[in-house]
Every structure is written in C-alpha cells, then in structure tokens.
Structure 1
Amino acid sequence: MKTLLRLLLKSQHQRNRSGPDQTEKGMTLVELLVGAIMAFLIITPMLGFVVDMLNTDRREQVKSNTEQDVQAALDFIAQDLSQAIYIYDNNPAPASTPTTTATGIPALLAGNFIPPPNTTQTPILVFWKRQLLTNSLPLAANVQPDTCTTTATGANTCNDTYVLALVAYYQVRETNGNSIWCQPSGAACPTRIVRYQIQDGLRNPNSIDPNPLQRYFTGVSPAQDRSPAFNPNFDISNPTQNVTTGAANFGNPEVLVNYIDDSPGPTVTPNDECRTALGNPTDTTGVMPTPIPETTLRIPAAPPDTVKSFYACVDTSQNIARVTIRGNSLRRIQTNDTAYNPNRTAFFPTASVQVQGLGARGQ
C-alpha cells in the first residue's frame, strides 16, 4: 500500500514538472510606436485626398449654382425686355434741344426721374414696357375692376389690358461685411442685381376728363393701381420728360441675383464691343447717317467702366439691347483671393443675351 501511494505521488510530481509554462506576452512600447507611425504615414495622405475631393466637389457645386443663377437672371431680363417699347441708351445729353435729342439714362438722372447712382448702386438697364393686367378692364358699366370675376361657364366679366410700366435694373455693391448679401462675412463683398418697377394705373377708356388724374377707375385692386412714382402726365412720345413723380417714390427694389463679380474682368477686345455686337448702328436723324459712338451705346460708359460684370449695349432707335452678366462663384465659399483671374475663368461664368423689344414707339 505504501508502495502504491509512493508511485502515485511520484507520477503526479513528474506530470506537473513536464507541463508548459502558462505565461502571456503583450506589445512592447517600441512596437506601438512603430505601428502608430505607420498608421500616420498611411492615413494622412488618404485624409488629405478625401479633403481635397470634398473641396473640389464644393467648388464644382458653387460653380454650377452660379452658372444657373446667372442664366436664370439673364432669362428673366430677356423675358422682361421682350415687352419693351422704349429702351434708354447712354446718350449724355441731359435734355433735348433743337439739334439734340435726349434718349439716355443721363437725362433721367438729370430730371431726378429714377433712383440716383452713388457709390453703392448704378443704373444699367432702364426701359418702358407693356404690363399685362389680366381680367381687369370691365365689359359693363356697373362692374368695377376689383370685382372682375370668371362666371360658372368660364366667361370673364372683364377683358385683359395693358398699362405702361417703367423697369430699371441696377447693380448694387454691398458695403456691410455682415450683411446677408455678403456671406461668408468679410471684405470684398459681391455685387447684386436689383429691379425697380413702377406702372400706370387702370384708366377708364370712356373718360374724357381733361385732368389725367380723373381718368382712372376708382374701384381697383393694388395690382391695378397706379404706382406713386408714375407720372400721369407722361407721354411715351417724349420719353425723357415728365417721366416720374420723383426718385423718392420708387420704393424698395427686388433682388434678382447675388454674387455678381466686383473685380476688373477680362480686357474687352475690341473697344467698340457694343458697336460690333449691335451691327454698327448709325444715327439717321441728321442730314447724313453718322455712327453712334460706343459711349452712347454702352451702359455704363467708360471711364470708369473697369468692372464690366453687368452692363448693357443699347440701340434705342432699333429698340435693341444686349445684356452681359458675369458671376463670381468663388465668393460663395471664401473671402480672400476672389478677384477675376484669366487662369480660372470657369469660376466666373459669363453669359449674354440680345433682345429686340416689341417695336419702336408708336408701332
């Protein structure tokens, strides 16, 4: 029995001595440091590549948005101009004389007929057009314009009609770096295009009252009423006389588009760009036809006309206008290094449109 116990103890002791060591090992500090350096060398270029892709995508997106905005604004102006019956050029004559006919914006400014230019706004395109008033002219004497309706059978109690409307497009420079029109906030704010419009009220075609103010319908809606700035004595045959009741009555303009470039753009070649684009128009009012100078056709005239991001070429005699707009997509995402550069013209989308109005006055 003692011998058996001795053998069992000896066997157990040998089995314990022959078993493997149960120790565990981790990563050393050097191994961790090497791994961190390798991860940094791999991840950093990939992170830079991702950031660059995101920036590129953002630039492409703002470029596309600016292109769309510029084209939409130009389409709107073209539609507006298609109804024009008289477009003011940049003829410097402040008033008509026996030998000079005033046809331009300077005459309007001299008479205080439109909002004056200053360091922040400049009139670029001004014209008269026909403004449609639908279902407004009564067919019966007992119907007022503001009560015009459509019957159950689809018939209208009033006809459509047109009134004169004066439209003025201005380029406005923002000076407040914290304005909503200057985002992201900072210096070198972009410019924007705004639109003023005033219109005549609904006149009674049967009225023969010698006082123009008494020829209007009394029962009208706001859309059918005369604008405070509209002068009832205005005559389209004399487009630079009695034009409005004063610039102070125009009210606030509507913003058409923002992020228009405000830096000197590409050099315009040739210098008679408007003359070339409009087919070299001539003045035929004199004894001999004479070429209309570039300074009369281009609005604003040079000097100072260094920005050229929103300008018009106008031939008043033919009722034709060519409008050019240049946007600035870089200003949507940054405040520095946003000036026009020939090496990155894609970020300054430019578009033009040429429109002939309804016809000359009286046609």
Structure 2
Amino acid sequence: MKSLLRLLLKTQHQQNCSIQAQTEKGMTLIELLIGTVMAFLILTPMLAFVVDMLNTDRREQVKANTEQDIQAAVDFIAQDLSQAIYIYDNIDINGGTRGTVAVTGIKSQLPPNDATKIPILVFWKRQQVKKSVPIDKTVKPNQCKDTANVDKCNDTYVLSLVAYYLFKDKENIWCQPSGVTCPARIARYEIRDGVRKPDPLATDINLPYYNVADTDPDTQQPDPAFNKDFDFTKPTENVTLAAGLIKDESGAKKPQILLNYIDHSSPGPTVIGNECKIPLGNPTAQIGASTQPIEEGTLKITDSTSSPPTNSFYACVDTARNLARVTIRGNSLRRLQTDANYDAKRSAFFPTASVQVQGLGARGK
C-alpha cells in the first residue's frame, strides 16, 4: 500500500514539472519588437519634453542674467553721471552746425579714435582724491597716506573726462558660441587731471603740478592724455593731448569693459520719433535773439555709422541743463546661439533699460 502511494505521488510530481517546463518559455522576436516600438513611442515624447524644458530654463536663465547685467550697467552710469559738470551733445561730439556756427566736434580728440569704437556718452566730472594736498610743507603728497601724516593733508578734487563707447570690434574670443562676429560691448575710458599745487613757486619744474618724484603716479599725477590747457568756455578745444594718447600704447588708458552682449541687429526694433525731445521735455536753446527748440539730431547720440543705426546704446543729452538720458538694449540669445538677430516675436530676450540723470555739478561751481 505504501509503495502504491509513493508511486502515485512520484508520477503526479513528474507531470507537474513537465507542465511547468512547457509553460515557462522566453519572449518571441515579434514580442520583443513590439515592446521596443512601444517603449520608443512612449519615451521619445518624454525625452523631447525634457530637452525642451532644459532649453527653456537655459534661455530664461540667460535672459535673467542679461537683465541683471544691463540694470547694473545703467545704475553704474547713473552714479557716474550724477557727478557730471558738463555733458557733450551730438553736435559737440560728432560735429555739425549749431545755429549758424559750424562745430568740428571732439570725436577725433578722444581715445582710441577708431571707427569701430563709437563714443556715445562723454562728460566732464569732478573726482575726489583723498589725502593728497599737504598742509604741512614738510610732507610730500606721496607721504600723505602714511599713518603719521594723515592729519597733515587735505582732500582735493580733480577733473576727469569720461567717455562711454559702443565697441563693434571683430574680436570673437570673449563671446560664446564663437565663430561669427560677436555682439557689441560697452566700454568706459577715463582721462584724469593730476593734483595741482596750491602754492606753486617759480623754481618748481612741474607746474602746475607737484614734482613727479613727490607724487603717486596712479592717483596724483595727470594721465598722459590730459590737457592742462582745457577751458570750459571752449569745451570742444584742447580736450585731450594727442601726444599723451600716443605715449600710452592702450590709448590713454585701457578701457574698462562695462557690459558685453549688446544687441547689434540691424535693423533693430522700430524707433519712435523724438525719442529724446519728448523725454527731455522738448528743450529749447537761445540762438541769437530768439529761443528755438533743440532738434532731435542735436540731442541724440547713437551709432550713426550704421545704416540704419542699431540704437542698442544711445544717449539723449541736453547740455544746457546738464541732463542726460541713457538707453541700453542687450541680446541674451547671443549667449546661446550665433543666429540671434532681433525679432519682435522674441523681444523679451532683448531686454532694455533706461535712466535719466541730471548732473549735480555745474561749470564754475
């Protein structure tokens, strides 16, 4: 009896193993192909969505960075302009006719006198130089900052000529992606006077300045391009020293690059007429016995060498009121792609900022 039961159990176990072996088999080629196609159909849209999300995030990031950079540049220019005592308008810079008087313009007197580098905003300001004029004649200016001499020297002010340029050079090493012409840049030059001696003697050899050996060359001596014969009553004459520009191989001083990725699309966005006259309050000028409105061409300084101008960095200047309005337009897409010309449909990627400032100083004050 036990042997019979053992035989039945063994037979049943063998049958179960045989059935399980027959039912457990791999995927066929058709099933594998169908699974692959289904996975492709599901994953491809998901991958495209992820890539699009990453690209969108990248574009938004560069747009935000460009907006921040432009606002920082505008704030810097506003702070600089607030100290202006004389701001040059378009006729002063590029020449023309003011009333019936022909004006040559100062463009050729400015560094670096290069057609690809266009002066947009040019003004004079007073700059403070701390602890530079000795009240004790035993102390030399370059000793004023010594701890023992701090109380023996006074602060003073010197004149500085500041020029903001739109650079349209051919360099393509600073922008990415490279390979084609880079966008424009904004650069700043400053040519500064030196500390003048309040009580000059006939024996002094460096009038009207202190002797070179007694001064700090970086803060107390005039820049090589500064012209000590400049006179505010003739603001377009003796602006700089050409010899000084030649001596300094960088053109007076190496420019300070203020902002990159300025839009250089031509044509740019449509410009509304009287962009300067209206914001500046339709200024007028006394010409002879009559008062006449100042024309837009006198007020607006832009990259006039372009046809049409890109208007990506321009200034509106009312010299009589020492008032200036500055506008900057960036190009955030150029940080990601070479084909990034202005298009009204994607104008959000070409952020613009403006600031209007009246200089606190004035000639003779």
TM-score bracket for the superposition, by shorter chain length: 0.7 to 0.9
Partner residue of 1:18 out of 5, 12, 15: 12
Distance 1:212 1:150, change over 3 A: closer
For the 8 Å contact 1:149–1:157, the answer to whether it is kept is no
Q: Is 2:239 aligned against 1:243? A: yes
Deviations 1:5-60 (Å, cap 9, x if unpaired)?
A: xx73x655443322212524222222222222222121111111111111111111
Q: In structure 1, what is the Cα distance between the partners aligned to 2:128 and 2:308?
A: 35
Matching of residues 309-320 of structure 1 within 5 Å? 309-320=312-323
For the 8 Å contact 2:197–2:209, the answer to whether it is kept is yes
Q: In structure 1, what is the Cα distance between the partners aligned to 2:312 and 2:140?
A: 46
Matching of residues 220-239 of structure 1 within 5 Å? 220-221=215-216, 222-239=218-235
Deviations 1:246-297 (Å, cap 9, x if unpaired)?
A: 144413211000000001222121x222111111111114210111111111
Offset of residue 155 of structure 1? 5.8
How many residue pairs match? The answer is 347
For the 8 Å contact 1:319–1:357, the answer to whether it is kept is yes
Q: Tell me what 1:115 maps to.
A: 112
Q: In structure 2, what is the Cα distance between the partners aligned to 1:284 and 1:212?
A: 44
Distance 1:189 1:124, change over 3 A: same
Amino acid across the alignment from 1:78: A
Q: In structure 1, what is the Cα distance between the partners aligned to 2:132 and 2:289?
A: 46
Q: Tell me what 2:101 maps to.
A: 100
Distance 1:301 1:346, change over 3 A: closer
Distance 1:94 1:212, change over 3 A: farther
For the 8 Å contact 1:237–1:361, the answer to whether it is kept is no
Q: Tell me what 1:192 maps to.
A: 185
SS at match of 1:64: helix
Distance 1:211 1:316, change over 3 A: farther
Q: Tell me what 2:152 maps to.
A: 157
Offset of residue 306 of structure 1? 2.2
SS at match of 1:132: strand
Worse-superposed segment, 120-129 or 302-311 = 302-311
Deviations 1:196-235 (Å, cap 9, x if unpaired)?
A: 1110011111115599942211211122221000012222
Distance 1:95 1:12, change over 3 A: closer
Q: Is 2:278 aligned against 1:276? A: yes
Q: Tell me what 1:321 maps to.
A: 324
Q: In structure 2, what is the Cα distance between the partners aligned to 1:251 and 1:155?
A: 29
Q: Tell me what 1:29 maps to.
A: 29
For the 8 Å contact 1:212–1:233, the answer to whether it is kept is no
Partner residue of 1:257 out of 256, 259, 262: 259
Amino acid across the alignment from 2:299: L
SS at match of 2:215: coil
Please tell me the root mean square deviation across aligned C-alpha atoms, in Å: 2.7
Amino acid across the alignment from 2:76: F
Offset of residue 237 of structure 1? 2.5
Distance 1:359 1:149, change over 3 A: closer
Worse-superposed segment, 92-101 or 189-198 = 92-101
Q: In structure 2, what is the Cα distance between the partners aligned to 1:192 and 1:140?
A: 46
Q: In structure 2, what is the Cα distance between the partners aligned to 1:203 and 1:81?
A: 24
Q: In structure 2, what is the Cα distance between the partners aligned to 1:301 and 1:210?
A: 49
Q: In structure 2, what is the Cα distance between the partners aligned to 1:199 and 1:122?
A: 20
Q: Compute the TM-score of the two structures, normalised by the length of structure 2.
A: 0.87
Partner residue of 1:125 out of 121, 126, 150: 121
Amino acid across the alignment from 2:353: A
For the 8 Å contact 1:151–1:157, the answer to whether it is kept is no
Offset of residue 138 of structure 1? 1.4
Q: In structure 2, what is the Cα distance between the partners aligned to 1:53 and 1:97?
A: 56
Deviations 1:286-321 (Å, cap 9, x if unpaired)?
A: 210111111111113757452000000111111111
Q: Tell me what 2:79 maps to.
A: 79
Q: Is 2:336 aligned against 1:333? A: yes
Q: Tell me what 1:215 maps to.
A: 208
Distance 1:301 1:91, change over 3 A: farther
Partner residue of 1:355 out of 348, 354, 357: 357
Q: Tell me what 2:195 maps to.
A: 202
Structure 2, gaps ≥5 residues long = none
For the 8 Å contact 1:87–1:127, the answer to whether it is kept is yes
For the 8 Å contact 2:107–2:119, the answer to whether it is kept is no
Q: Is 2:174 aligned against 1:173? A: no
Distance 1:190 1:284, change over 3 A: same
Worse-superposed segment, 320-329 or 18-27 = 18-27
Worse-superposed segment, 64-73 or 90-99 = 90-99
For the 8 Å contact 2:303–2:314, the answer to whether it is kept is no
SS at match of 2:137: coil
Distance 1:260 1:211, change over 3 A: farther
Worse-superposed segment, 155-164 or 54-63 = 155-164
